[in-house]
Structure 1
Amino acid sequence: MTSTAANIPLIPRAHLFGNPERTSVHISPDGRFLSWLAPLNGVLNIWVAPVDDPTRARVVTNDTKRGIRMHGWTYEGQLFYQQDVDGNEDFHLYVVDVEAGTARNLTPFKGVTVHVERVSKIVRDRILVAMNQRDPKYFDLHTLDLATGELILVEQNTDFSGFITDRHYRTHFATRTASDGTLEVHRRNAEGAWTPWTHFAPEEAWTSGPRHLNADGTALFMFDSRGRDTAALTRIDLASGATGVVAAHPRVDLFGFILDPDTLEPVAYSVYVERPEYVALTTDIQRDLDFLNGKQLGDWSIGGRTEDQRLWVINAASDLRPATTYLYDREQQTLRTLFEHRPELAGAPLVPMQPVVIPSRDGLELISYLTRPAGANQPGPLVLLVHGGPWGRDGFGFDAEHQWLANRGYSVLSVNFRGSMGFGKTFVNAGDGEWGRRMDDDLLDAVAWAVDKGIADPSRVAIMGGSYGGYAVLAGMTRNPEAYACGVAIVGPSNLETLLASIPPYWESFRTQLIRAIGDPSTEAGLALLRERSPVHRADRIRRPLLIGQGANDPRVKRAESDQMADAMKANGIPVTYVLFPDEGHGFARPENNISFNAITEAFLERHLGGRAEPMREAEWNGSTAEILEGAQLLQLPARRAD
């Protein structure tokens, strides 16, 4: 660490990972109210205020456990939210009585998860929900009356992965994945039966498929990578079959759009190569883009709009500035600051993030993001931070983990390795069959790049990640036992056989794509591949310290995955530190748990990489539910208060 970095004040963990002061801001369709999430007694709840006076806010829910994460408005001005229990992902839907400040669970069904599919401005007294009550594997569509709780079946789903509906909640198209990975698109005919309409080859399934209908149902918008590498947005006239390309980009897939709320035709699209940007399709929206781009907001997006389109909620952030929410008046061309989500970080010693393109050994371009400690001018410790999915992507902007680790003296590198989404079908399909091999090679190539550029000391590199990123940690440390000084694996699969055998039932429609990526257990070759790429079977190769974090209720990567890895290491006499959270699922949602695990991680990295650490406070430890199943003797923890 340079002397400059050593003199930089430590940013408190609570400022980065504690509850934000406000977040998830929405506006009611009539433009009268703002709603947002903010703490009540340390737990995120919904607050509502008049749009012209946010200081008159009042809390309208009273959750005391995990906190609320998702909420929204109907066009009738009803407020709803979704919530699970301790991370089990069985989401229920609640409606809020704004005046009384009470909430009702409208889907109190055990072992059932509910998703909001659509909120229509045409059918205003009901919303469309998907629910797997009848069959845990598939989601039937129902309309739900938020006033009475009445559920009416719209579509009984036998084996489809999703539906395209109109604004009257009628189903027109459905998708399913065939056994060979082909994405089939079916259309409802005049007699009401589903008939095959088009299909996409297995290599196009990740990047292609129907998106939505226009308002009058005469045109279907489709993501399509047939005949090209990246997914374009196409518009299909359903009467004539005429197809035209609305927008395309040679380097990245198109997924983000601004739609005209009346016609549902795209008026702008976003391009995300190294940083996101909007491109206008109409002169009317160009005026808005020019105004907002001229305000130097950083990277911005629309968080909500009023029904008359006069007011937009704008969320903006940059690498050096956490999220800020604004209210944009399109008629007056004015922008009013509503909230800074983390005002306690104003003046904090944040450092810039740099997009970099790293070549892989076989010629792929890996768009990556580097953050260095303040004043870093020589090789030092590096944390390779691996994203989950793996069908996600790393991006530019304010990143609490990057800022935290850089503040502690580490360079941080996030890599969009092959298999990441958004960079075309060749890139995403290059990950098939390459878990723990070429996907791992990409990470090794990124570390080699950082060493070659004088950024990383090769003897002080850590690998850290969650979900697939946790798998990458385990795979990297078993495959390359001398490459990393230590690793931090969070909710990471260790045994691909048991991972496949224990995925949630409602992932059934996704199973074919997962098998294509990691191996088919029904075949001898596939089973051999699964076993070969499972880190648990090579735990005896690990030579460096490993920290494991797991949520006991994780429905995706079950606790057994971390248990198996810890047991295998113990059986081979290899020390491991294993932290379990009994009230968490796939990741740590409660700030107290997130902060305590990050405090443990800081101390772990300080010991093995030589950076800095903020001591864990007694209140941080007592506020969490962390259980140290293995390696307690390796940690210096405050005494836990007895209840």
Structure 2
Amino acid sequence: MSSATTAAARVKDIALISRDDLFGNPVRSGGKISPDGQWLSWMAPWEDVMNVWLAPTSDPDNARRMTSAKDRPIPQYFWSPDSTALLYVRDKEGDENYLLYKVDVASGEDSCLTPFENTRIQVVGASDTIKDKILIGLNNRDPRFHDVHLLNVTTGEMTLVHENTEGWAGFEADDSLTLRWAVRQNASGGTDMHEITDGVVAETPREVIAMDDALTTTTAGYTTDGSVLYWIDSRGRNTAALFAEDTATGERTLLAEHDKADLGGTLRDTKTGVVQAYSATYLRTEWTCFDKGIEASLDWLRERLKGDFGVQSRTDDDRKWLVWNDPLTGPITSYLYDRDADTLTTFYVTKPSLEGQPLQAMHPREIPARDGLTLPCYLTLPPAVDVDGDGIPDAPVPLVLLVHGGPWARDGYGFNRTHQWLANRGYGVLSVNYRGSTGFGKDFVNAANLQWSKAMHDDLIDAVNWAVEQGIAEQDKVAIMGGSYGGYATLVGLTYTPDVFACGVDIVGPSNLETLLETIPPYWEPMVKQFHERMGNPETEEGKQLLKDCSPLYLADKIVKPLLIGQGANDPRVKQSESDQIVTAMEKHGIPVTYVLFPDEGHGFHRPENNIAFNAIVEGFLAGCLGGRAEPVGDTLAKSNAQIPTGAEFVQGLG
């Protein structure tokens, strides 16, 4: 009996966790407490679409729905600083042209604050002392550049603050909503930061950040009185550290550093803006406190909550917090924490249907790359295959290599529904922070420069080989799967190393780096030099050849293993043509491929019914290739807008 059969035999008696429970709408999510502490808000489904709800903090059961989205879930919302309104953004069918909307708490009136076509808003700044206004960026004048406006959230009045005719990529403001910095890329792909004084941008930059530091150095906000500017800065070092700059003298003080990870989030005093605590995430997140009161509260919570936790929302007086708790093998729970009374009250459980389900532990791992680089990774195993819980199965199992997007992003530790889903179906799941992933210092990021399909892919192969050598993965039963860059990595895996993987699942992945860079959204233009320096410059013959050499499209005839492709028709980042062209190339060479297209999606599948439908197809596809189990497709495709232009016959359960 093969190891794959052994894994399947052990898993077969374990309860099958339904796709609806894992990928359907949560009962509640995204909880926030209003700045004045009077209201609790959250996301919850209405007519199967996630909307914003509200209740008094004193009576959480007295809920009322505040929004009425019927087609796509609302992706993000936040409170107005004065607690009188909820603000949220929405786009159309995944086009990422996000407009800003407002719901008045008292009247329930819902209105669009930025009623423009083909426009994407940015929040440039908010204030702890100016409660009725925020700064926003609008690219309605020129789709490439955002002009800064002062928006009165009470009246809806907008006042132009800075017309961005100079091609700035971004701006930084202080608590008085005064613009202090204008930022743009320089010729080397780094960042030039120009100070703004009395509304006038300095001609020469005060700070010049080299390309090598561009992804690991940034301002991190002012104190409320403007006397201190915080920096997360990697200049002159590897990992990005936390610095405080005296704005009167320019003197900088090192506040905190970590030897393996960039410093990440901070907790600030809600009145002064002074940093009270900071986090660093290498394999897991660690919080360190400067403020004794914050430290005491975090210690009190740590004694009562199992797994990981964090602060998701705070009142202006800092007496009440909303706290999330990830028990790691259960659904995330949100609590209302009263710091005066030392009470912790359950606010909601995101997915109660997952309680008591056979969820599996995630194992952090460090995997060596061939050149000595250490790759922080996360492994989840199927149930019943690791009796002693050491992260090594009793016999090798089929494995899914799950590759994150970006590539300038990272995988992290905690409850991961994709890990849980695939493990429950009988597969080990390995997520690799390959070189180029962020959070591990600039050397780690820059090791990926001009290495698409090269050392970046070698890292993935090294991780697979490690899993095989450790007795975790069965060598001929490894799939590669991912979205965006992860989709690209899937195509690279099946073309550049066609014998390593048993199959691949590409979700919105580019197949041709030349056409990818030709079709980026216009508002990415101010950042394009960084793409050229890190991927290859199509404006030079050498760079153009490099992009071609790194594009799976030109090796489509090398694909010998099954491939499933998922694409959103409205994707503004990775156009539908990226998937169309590799499907066409494969069909030209007579190579089977399954192609799933969603006409109402963009960069990823955000409508739950579409996501569930695609995952139903993935299950059947993986079952046919790796031998795991699959929940019947049922009517999931009929509930979605999935179209299968080609290859349905190659997926188990589709016919």
Q: 8 Å contact 1:617–1:638 — kept in the other structure? A: no
- State the alpha-carbon separation in 2 of the partners of residues 522 and 604 from structure 1: 40
Residue 176 of structure 1 corresponds to 184
**One-letter amino acid of the counterpart of residue 163, structure 1:** F
Instruction: State yes or no: 1:193 paired with 2:210.
Output: no
- Between 1:114-123 and 1:330-339, the stretch displaced more is 114-123
Q: Could you tell me how far apart the structure 2 residues matched to 1:52 and 1:193 are?
A: 48
* AA partner of residue 291 (structure 1): W
Aligned to 1:110: 117
Correspondent of 2:568 among 544, 548, 551:
551
Give 2:49's match in structure 1, choosing from 22, 43, 48.
Answer: 43
Within 5 Å, give how 1:86-125 maps onto structure 2: 86-125=93-132
Partner Cα distance (2:404, 2:229) in 1: 33
1:143-167 per-residue CA deviation (whole Å, 9 max, x = no partner) reads 1122332111122222222211011
Alignment partners' CA distance in 2, 1:290 and 1:193: 45
Counterpart Cα distance in 1 of 2:592 and 2:421: 26
- Report what 1:530 is aligned to: 547
Q: Which residue of 1 aligns with 2:326?
A: 317
Cα displacement (A) at 1:102: 4.0
Q: How does 1:245-324 map to 2 (within 5 A)?
A: 245-324=254-333
* CA contact 1:554–1:584 (8 Å) conserved in 2: yes
Alignment of 1:160-239 (within 5 A): 160-189=168-197, 192-194=200-202, 195-239=204-248
CA-atom RMSD in angstroms: 1.3
> AA paired with 1:167?
D
Matched, 1:127 2:134: yes
Q: Secondary structure at the match of 2:604?
A: coil
Aligned-residue offset at 1:13: 0.3
Shift of 1:126: 1.6
Residue from 3, 13, 20 that aligns with 1:7: 13
Secondary structure at 2:124 match in 1: strand
Which region of structure 1 is more displaced relative to structure 2, 249-258 or 160-169?
A: 160-169
Q: Deviations over 1:526-545 (max 9, x none)?
A: 00000000000110001100
Q: Is the 8 Å Cα contact of residues 188 and 210 (structure 2) preserved in structure 1? A: no
In structure 1, distance between residues paired with 2:153 and 2:652: 50
Work out whether 1:603 is the aligned partner of 2:620.
yes
Match of 2:38 among 28, 32, 47: 32
Match of 1:633 in 2: 649
Deviation at 1:94, TM superposition (A): 0.7
Shift of 1:630: 1.2
Q: Which residue of 2 aligns with 1:431?
A: 448
Q: Give the CA deviation at 1:265.
A: 1.4
Q: Choose 506-515 or 400-409, whichever is displaced more.
A: 506-515
The Cα shift of 1:494 comes to 0.4
Corresponding residue number in structure 2 for 1:491: 508
- Aligned length in residues: 638
**Kept in 2: contact 1:126–1:146 (CA 8 A):** yes
Listed as ranges, the matches of 1:57-72 within 5 Å are 57-72=63-78
Kindly indicate whether residue 151 of structure 2 is the aligned counterpart of residue 147 of structure 1.
no
What does residue 612 of structure 1 align with?
A: 629
Contact preservation (8 Å) 1:463, 1:473? yes
Provide the rounded CA distance (Å) in 2 between the counterparts of 1:476 and 1:392.
20
Show structure 2 runs of 5+ residues with no match. Answer: 1-5, 386-393
Show the counterpart of 1:587: 604
Name the TM-score, length of structure 2 as normaliser: 0.96
CA contact (8 A) 1:154 1:170 kept: no
What TM-score, normalized to structure 1?
0.97
Quote how far apart the aligned CAs of 1:636 are: 5.6
- Of 334, 359, 365, the residue aligned with 2:343 is 334
Deviations 1:218-276 (A, max 9, x none): 22111211221100111111221211101111111012111112121111001111111
* Structure 1 partner of 2:584: 567
Using the TM superposition, name which of 402-411 and 211-220 deviates more: 211-220
Aligned position for 1:375: 384
User: 1:261-295 CA deviation, whole Å, 9 max, x = no partner?
Assistant: 21211110011111112100122221112112112
1:422 corresponds to which residue? 439
After superposition, the Cα gap between the structure-2 partners of 1:328 and 1:521, relative to the gap in structure 1 and judged at 3 Å, is same
2:304 counterpart SS class: coil
1:395-447 deviation line (CA, Å, top 9, x unaligned)? 10000000000000000000000000000010000111011110000000000
Q: Note if 1:442 corresponds to 2:489.
A: no
1:424/1:329 CA distance change after superposition, 3 Å: same
Report the counterpart of residue 502 of structure 1 in structure 2. 519
Cα offset for 1:99? 4.5
Bigger CA drift: 442-451 or 509-518?
509-518
Q: For the residues of structure 2 that align with 1:53 and 1:532, how far apart are their CA atoms?
A: 61
- Residue 153 of structure 2 aligns with an amino acid whose one-letter code is L
| Residues 527 and 562 of structure 1: CA distance in aligned 2, closer, same or farther (over 3 Å) | same
Give the Cα–Cα distance (whole angstroms) in 2 for the partners of residues 622 and 58 of structure 1: 31
Choose the corresponding residue for 1:407, options 418, 424, 427: 424
Partner deviation per Cα, 1:61-104 (whole Å, 9 max, x = no partner): 11110021211111222111100011100001111133454421
